[in-house]
Chains A and B, each alone.
Chain A
Amino acid sequence: MATDWPTSRLEVLNEEPLVVKNPKTWFHIHSYGGWGKFFKGLREKKLLATRCTNPKCEEKRLWLPPRTECPDCWHDMEWVEAPQQGTIYTFSTVKYPGELFKLPAGTHLISVELPGVCTKPMSWLKEGEPQFGMKIKAVFNTERPTNTILDLAWVPA
């Protein structure tokens, strides 16, 4: 039996030193696991957070991004709808995003403060110019969901 040389090749970009182009074309199969409920909730315009079910746990507030186990007591959490109105805690306009960003350069990133929530989730402002303490409300990408955190955004309330 004789085996022929491969037909695909690496493109040579430079001879001295020898530099070749090494393509990467595959994808990752990623499971959101126990957090999938949050992303599916976005399709139904629900902002799903979690709360510790341990009556002895001191952290009574909601977690958003959700966690399925409480980091303070390792107890199970329950799913609860978080408020959809909050304020801008901080913001930045990203002029030079990384390669995989699905939104245009110039998008306003924000961190959101929500009543009764112990975290300040990072998100983006879909309309308007961000200001500290600005009142905002959640909007959801239900038409063509990306199935990422980008399906949640905020607009002035």
Chain B
Amino acid sequence: MIKFGPGNLRIPKFERPVYVVAGGLTDFRKRYPEKNTCQLCNEALRMAVEENDLKVDPEQYRRMVNWCVYSQFADHFGDQLLAAAKIHDYLGFDPLGNVEVKTGGATGGTSVLAAAQAIASGYADCVPVVGWERMDEVTTKVGNSYIASAACKDFESELGWMYAAYYALMAKRYQYENNVPRETLAKIACKNHEYAYYSPFSQNPGKYTVKEVLENEIVSDPLSYLECCVMSVGAAVLLLADEKTAYKLTDTPIRLAAICGGSHTLRTADRRHMPILLLPNENESTYKDYYGVRRKEWPGFSSFLAARMAAYLAYNMAGIKDPVEDFDVLETHDAFTISDVQTYEDIGLRPYGRGREFIESGDAYFGGRLPTNLSGGLIGTMHAVGATGVFQLVEILWQLQGKYDKFHGDPKLWQRYGKTKPADWRSLQVKNPKRGCAISHAGTGSHVTCAILERP
């Protein structure tokens, strides 16, 4: 596939509206021997059902569920095939039907997409999405080789057994083509580590300077440790429902206006040049001075076609004209600082070649035009892979429901995880947000979903 046929760009539609009603998380840790995976999923589900001001009690909720979706990246890590069957049993949902979804780092996003499809089609009314990853049974080096098993094992994995290196190849090329300063990449790391500092769920919070990020040890040139996502253990749960069920559950359901997926070759190597798929806020003239001048091909190594595809479909499905104007809050899959800048361009926050301006202008910060990764993201808070895309939407949901403070500012929640709320904690609740977006991303861009949540 390289040329689009008439069916390939059909805009998806739901047969009936889909709502998100509640979310739950565990805290995220590098190692979590205190709790097994079933316990972690149970804890996240109970937070979703018991602590989100639902109008039903847990027993009533259990009686309403008719389908479940499970989200786990790698059987390697959990060392338990058919883990979903075990989780489903321990959560007390059998004999209901369920499905486990696997699309690498985008597993969370795709799981929510699968739940939305079930509800939109009328197959189900009430669906929990349960995501988790247990990455602490092996050393970090073995963990990295497990993750690199999600590169092409015949022609790529042997080259480093390290995903950060595959992103570093893209980072180098992106810098070469677009002249992005290292300082700009470092600022993304500083921002997300700082936002993680205000979250009781976070694994790697910290207030770092650009200098500290740049002087941090290198994983694969040019990326430093502080510019790479964490490897986590933890779980996240999101509850979805059709409109009638959603209002039975809560007075403040949030509509899932769109969720769409795109893909691209597993190997970055195989990405051939093609015409840019334009978003609603771009036109032919947007790129007349770019290609052939600064850059000879698209998507190449500097852009993610899967992200562009997902955004193209989701923006058209939800009627988004300009993402920076139309969204009030955004979660990106900041696995690495470089992939964040690439994504800013793929989802149209800036035209290709100008992604750096999204950070440099201040737009991406709390108080800016489109605050991004207020959760702390993958760099600061968590990347328990199967939970990640679910976690992003839980955080967007809480922002749109005005519950950031409830779930981040309560000292008792900090205590629950053995932490003390920082004296200089500050609220990152966006004022009266209407619409949020989350990008879930796999591989070096093999799968991406774009989800848009909207206050009804």
Q: Which one of B137, B166, B176 contacts A132 once the chains associate, using CB atoms below 8 Å?
A: B176
State whether A98 touches B162 (Cβ < 8 A): yes
- With A92-B165, A100-B145, A111-B269 already in contact, the answer to whether A122 and B159 are too (CB < 8 A) is yes
Known A-B contacts A100-B161, A119-B270; A90 and B141 likewise in contact (beta carbons under 8 Å): no
A53 to chain B, nearest CB (A): 18
Choose, from B106-114, B204-212, B218-226, B369-377, the stretch at the interface.
B218-226
A17-B34, A72-B2 known; A99 and B145 CB under 8 Å? yes
Are A99 and B144 in contact, with the CB atoms below 8 A?
yes
Q: Which residues of B contact A (CB under 8 A)?
A: 1-3, 33-34, 79, 137, 139, 141-142, 144-145, 147-148, 152-162, 164-166, 168-173, 176, 217-222, 267-270, 272, 301
Query: B158 to chain A: which residues have CB within 8 Å?
Result: 100-102, 146, 148-150
Q: A94-B168, A95-B218, A96-B219 are in contact. Are A111 and B268 (CB under 8 A)?
A: yes
A-B contact pairs, 7 of them (CB 8 A): A17-B34, A90-B172, A94-B168, A94-B221, A95-B220, A98-B147, A109-B169
User: Taking A17-B34, A149-B159, A150-B158 as contacts, is the C-beta distance between A95 and B270 under 8 angstroms?
Assistant: no
- State whether B220 touches A99 (Cβ < 8 A): no
Please indicate the chain A residues that have their CB under 8 angstroms from the CB of B222 in the complex: 92
Bound CA–CA A63/B155 (angstroms):
12
Cβ–Cβ contact B176 & A90, under 8 A: yes
**In the complex, A97 has a CB within 8 A of chain B:** yes
A residues near B148, Cβ cutoff 8 Å: 98
Known: A65-B267, A150-B159. A32 touches B144 (CB 8 A): no
* Given known contacts A19-B33, A119-B270, A99 and B161 CB-to-CB distance under 8 angstroms: yes
Q: Are A96 and B220 in contact (CB under 8 A)?
A: yes
Q: Is the CB of A72 within 8 A of B1?
A: yes
Q: Is the CB of A98 within 8 A of B33?
A: no
What 0/1 readout, one digit per residue, does chain A (28-71) give for beta carbons within 8 Å of chain B? Answer: 00101001000000000000000000000011000101000001
Known A22-B79, A149-B154: A92·B159 in contact at CB below 8 Å = no
- CB of A87 closer than 8 Å to a CB of B: no
Q: Residues of B contacting A150 with CB < 8 Å?
A: 158-159
Asked if residues A99 and B142 are in contact (CB atoms below 8 Å), the reply is yes
**Roughly how many angstroms separate A150 CA and B226 CA in the complex, as a whole number?**
29
Q: How many whole Å from A58's CB to the nearest CB in chain B?
A: 8
* Contact of B220 (CB < 8 Å), options: A92, A110, A132, A146: A92
Chain A residues in 8 Å Cβ range of B268:
111, 120, 122
B382 to chain A, nearest CB (A): 21
Q: Which of A19, A96, A124 contacts B159 (CB 8 A)?
A: A124
Chain A residues closer than 8 Å to B173, beta-carbon distance: 89-90, 111
CA of A106 to CA of B200, assembled, Å: 37
B219 to chain A: which residues have CB within 8 Å?
A: 94-96
Complex contacts, B161 vs chain A, CB 8 Å: 97-101
User: Is B169 within 8 A of A96, CB to CB?
Assistant: no
Residues of B within 8 A of A63 (CB): 270
A20 to chain B, nearest CB (A): 11
Instruction: Determine if A118 is an interface residue (Cβ-Cβ < 8 Å).
Output: yes
Q: With A65-B155, A89-B173, A92-B169 known to touch, is A109 a contact of B160 (CB < 8 Å)? A: yes
* Closest residue of B by beta carbon distance from A65: B155
A119 to B300, CA, bound (A): 10
Q: Give the complex CA separation of A149 and B161 in angstroms.
A: 12
Residue in B141, B147, B155 whose beta carbon sits within 8 Å of that of A149 in the complex: B155
A95 CA / B228 CA spacing, docked (Å): 14
Q: Give the residues in chain B near A7, CB-CB below 8 Å.
A: none
A146 vs B159: C-alpha distance when bound (angstroms): 13
In the complex, whether A91 has a CB less than 8 A from a CB of chain B is yes
Report A46 CB to chain B, min CB distance, Å. 16
Partner of A90, one of B142, B145, B170: B170
Q: Which residue of A lies closest to B225 (CB)?
A: A96
B residues near A19, Cβ cutoff 8 Å: 33
Interface digits, A12-23 against B, CB 8 Å rule (1 contact, 0 not)? 001001010010
Within the complex, what minimum Cβ distance (angstroms) separates A63 from chain B?
8
What 7 pairs between A and B have smallest CB-CB spacing? A98-B161, A98-B145, A92-B168, A98-B144, A90-B173, A65-B155, A99-B141
Q: Of B154, B172, B217, which contacts A92 at CB under 8 A?
A: B172
Say which residue of B152, B154, B159 sits within 8 Å of A123 (CB atoms). Answer: B159
The interface residues of chain B lying within 8 Å CB-to-CB of A59 are: 2, 272
**Docked complex Cα distance between A132 and B142 (Å):** 31
